[in-house]
């Protein structure tokens, strides 16, 4: 299986955006630890939890993950994300929204 087309930092930003501040304390702690391990600041994580990013491309990816529809996908494509990356962002978003129990 081929590697991910989504940067690990962007993947975490997507997770932060989708789980927001309503996640369990243990998940919030794991996310903080993961973010710090890849060099993210607290401000970056806080902004991601509100559904955005300081980075334009990452913000587009987060927007697509939060609202996967034709309009946001077209915006992502115009911003330079590939079809493959868009599809992977949508898959990741679905997986985060419907965790296995």
Q: How far apart are CA 45 and CA 32, in angstroms?
A: 8
Residue 2 gets which letter from DSSP? Answer: P
Asked if pLDDT for residue 101 goes beyond 90, the answer is no
Q: What does the pLDDT read at residue 99?
A: 67
Rg (alpha carbons) of the chain, rounded to whole number:
13
pLDDT in tens, 42-97: 999 999 999 999 999 999 999 999 999 999 999 999 999 999 999 999 999 999 88
Query: H helices within 38-82, ranges in order?
Result: 42-49, 56-66, 70-78
- Measure the CA dihedral 64/5/77/10, to 10°: 40
pLDDT band at 1 (very low <50, low <70, confident <90, very high): very low
- Residue 98 or residue 80, greater confidence: 80
């Amino acid at each position: 299986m081929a590697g991910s087309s989504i940067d690990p930092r962007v993947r975490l930003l997507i997770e932060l955006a989708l789980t927001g501040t309503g996640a369990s304390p243990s998940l919030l702690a794991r996310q903080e630890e993961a973010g710090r391990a890849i060099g993210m600041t607290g401000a970056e994580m806080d902004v991601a939890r509100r559904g955005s990013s300081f980075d334009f491309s990452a913000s587009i990816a987060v927007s697509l993950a939060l609202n996967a529809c034709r309009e946001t996908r077209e915006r992502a494509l115009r911003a330079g994300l590939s079809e493959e990356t868009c599809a992977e962002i949508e898959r990741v978003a679905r997986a985060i929204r419907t965790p296995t129990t």
